[in-house]
Amino acid sequence: MHISKSFTRCVLPLFIFITMQTSAQQTRFEKSNKQATATYPEVISYYKDLAVHYPQAKLITYGPTDHGEPLQLLVLSKNKVFDRQKLADQNKSIFLINNGIHPGEPEGIDASMMLARDLLKNNRLPEDVVICIIPLYNIDGSFNRGNTSRANQNGPLAYGFRGNSKNLDLNRDFIKTDSKNSESFQQIFNLWQPDIFVDTHTSNGADYQYTMTLIPTQKDKLNPLLAGYLTKTMLPSLYQKMEAKGYELISYINSVEETPDAGITGFLEPPRFSTGYAALHNTIAFMPETHMLKAYDKRVDATYKLLETYIDVIERDVKQIRDNKRQADVAVAKQIVFPLDWKLDDRSVDSIPFKGYTAKQKPSGVSGYDRLYYDRSQPYTKHIKEWNTFVPVISVNKPIAYIIPQAWSRVIDLLKLNGVSVKQLSSDTKLQLEMYYIKDYKTVPQPFEGHYLHSAVHVNPVRQDVHYYAGDYIVYVNQPSNRYIVETLEPQATDSFFNWNFFDSILGQKEHYSDYVFEDTAAQLIKDHQELKAGLDAEKAKDPAFAKNGTAQLEYVYKHSDYYEKTHMRYPIGRLLDEHKINLK
């Protein structure tokens, strides 16, 4: 066959260009025979290349991380609109994917790279769904690369470390926000306001036949409208479609005993976790967990197919998803009672099919004592119990507003970051408020994620006239962000700012007395104030040990007098319960 020179000049360079472009768009995972995961520079270089070649893709730079690199967001928009407000006006649904929060669990990193390329290359972007991908969230941890930190995991060849450069687990940092990563994530989340959010992970724990387990937002913590759609429509669709693709799903295996045979419970994610944080903003969220012992290529493939399935379901139900979110925002703005803590309802139990492996015992090669192992030559299918209903154990009626002294600027900054509307007093004023005194609390003996975390908080509410000053803040509780407001500002909430030590300085007394001086003052006080003497006598009659303890009696008089500082143990954020005329800036 004769090939003309003109054909050679025109067609061969085009062929070479297409070949080079196709090769350039191969991921490290694909080039390594599906054994390796991309490094951070490779991930960002890859997405930059996609954004250059496809006008439907844009890589947007947001705030910094603790590593110094900024957090990036790849936005895939079929109509090439990348302005969030314009997309909202067009009723586009936002699907946000977060990868590499634990860089040793990198399936989502590799799956998202291939999925973005395939959607662009094959012109498969959905019409009404904008896909936002955080390429690699824990940038710092991804640079701390090795292949032994996840001792139980089967590949890839090398991967990042769970902690970031501050040794923080970033999936515990969505309320306390100790990392710059978390601040930048919250900037992205509250700007784009996703309808559906997915945070990709790899599991630990028992061995079983499934490649993928799934943690959805705990249904009992979601707005009922969102929970109804999640449980009756979205989850059944995900399960059905993934089974058709060869990856049967099951709930995350949160075993009640050492093995799953005795049953599993739902995962109650407080707001410190990404999915719990998303629920505060009326976003349905998922934490897919691939099984650490399955081959890495299968784990990436399962993640790819799950993300693909999410897009299909969101595109199918886009109007309902958007309407549900709008109605939930309206309902939360009007909501009166807010649960602050939940517990598992052990009376509510279901039976679900489970495909496991027989658990056995054999002598340990280390100690010689019996140890657990799963016999993969003996798979089984049977029904096990599942407890997945949670009920509130502490609830609170919202106030009209919270009043926050401007001294607590970190609290104000985080409220603003999360889309909360705050206003400032224009002049000094006295307000009658409900103030909490911290009556009791527990604190962990060892630091957890850099904090001595409080829990089991009990408060004593007291009506008081309190002075506030020009520039202090007022937060009205009539907003779509009400859940974030209430669950951070109410001390009894699981992940309140109080529990994360934002207000520990109020727990320390600043003034006291010298016994020998105050003795005479105290004697005069009980002489002049009969109600104080009556209270002291009643306490002595009630408690024989107290009756024999002069120091304790002196302390009683002091704490029930005007000499005792009124701000000791007083939570500084006031609850406005009655309508007041307040002058605002």
Q: What is the DSSP letter of 233?
A: I
217 within 8 A of 285, measured Cβ to Cβ: yes
Q: Mind giving me the DSSP string for 453-507?
A: -EEEEEEEEEEEEEEE-TT-EEEES-STTHHHHHHHHSTTSTT-TTTTTTTGGGG
Closest by Cα among 477, 470, 478, 476 to 584: 470
- Specify which residues 379 forms β-bridges with: 357
CATH number for the domain spanning 76: value is 3.40.630.10
Tell me the pairing of strands 423-424 and 473-476.
antiparallel
- Among 284, 300, 332, residue at a domain's last position: 332
Q: Mind giving me the DSSP string for 173-210?
A: -TTT--SHHHHHHHHHHHHH--SEEEE-EE--S--BS-
| 443 falls within a domain | yes
Q: Is the dihedral of CA 44, 50, 53, 58 positive or negative?
A: negative
| 372 falls within a domain | no
193 within 8 A of 281, measured Cβ to Cβ: yes
Q: Dihedral of the CA atoms 47, 49, 53, 55 (nearest 10)?
A: 40
Q: How would you class 128 by CB atoms within 10 Å of its CB: exposed for 0-12, middle for 13-18, buried for 19 or more?
A: middle
Residues 180 and 295 in one domain: yes
pLDDT at 6 (0 to 100): 54
Work out the angle at residue 218's Cα, subtended by the Cα atoms of residues 215 and 222, and round it to the nearest 5 degrees: 135
> Cα separations (Å) of 141 from 13, 100, 179?
42, 9, 12
- Among 332, 355, 374, residue at a domain's last position: 332
pLDDT at 15 (0 to 100): 46
Residues 221 and 281 in one domain: yes
- Among 281, 301, 332, residue at a domain's last position: 332
Residues 425 and 475 in one domain: yes
Q: State CA 463 to chain mean position distance.
A: 34
Residues 317 and 439 in one domain: no
| 583 falls within a domain | no
Q: What is the pTM of this model?
A: 0.93
524 within 8 A of 374, measured Cβ to Cβ: no
pLDDT at 357 (0 to 100): 98
pLDDT at 99 (0 to 100): 98
SS3 324: helix
The number of distinct structural domains making up the chain is 3
Tell me the pairing of strands 264-265 and 370-387.
parallel
> What single letter denotes the amino acid at residue 425?
L
| 189 falls within a domain | yes
pLDDT at 584 (0 to 100): 81
Omega into 156 within 30° of 0, i.e. cis? yes
342 within 8 A of 493, measured Cβ to Cβ: no
Residues 467 and 555 in one domain: no
Q: What are phi and psi of 13, to 5 degrees?
A: -60, -40
| 104 falls within a domain | yes
| 206 falls within a domain | yes
- Rounded Cα–Cα distance for residues 192 and 95 (Å): 9
pLDDT at 442 (0 to 100): 98
| 384 falls within a domain | no
Residues 167 and 210 in one domain: yes
Residues 423 and 488 in one domain: yes
pLDDT at 404 (0 to 100): 98
Residues 148 and 74 in one domain: yes
Residues 462 and 537 in one domain: no
| 523 falls within a domain | yes
Residues 39 and 161 in one domain: yes
- Rounded Cα–Cα distance for residues 168 and 179 (Å): 8
For the chain of 585 residues, list the mean pLDDT of each consecutive stretch of 10.
51 46 77 98 98 98 97 98 96 97 98 98 97 98 96 96 97 98 98 98 95 97 97 98 98 95 95 98 98 98 98 98 98 98 96 97 96 97 97 98 98 98 96 97 97 98 96 98 98 98 96 91 92 92 94 90 91 93 80
- Specify which residues 361 forms β-bridges with: 372
Residues 572 and 524 in one domain: no
Residues 10 and 65 in one domain: yes
pLDDT at 12 (0 to 100): 47
Long-range contacts of 576-581 (CB under 8 A, 24+ apart): 576/399, 576/400, 576/401, 576/402, 576/403, 576/431, 576/433, 576/474, 577/399, 577/400, 577/433, 577/434, 578/400, 578/432, 579/400, 580/431, 580/432
529 is in which domain, residue-wise? 515-559
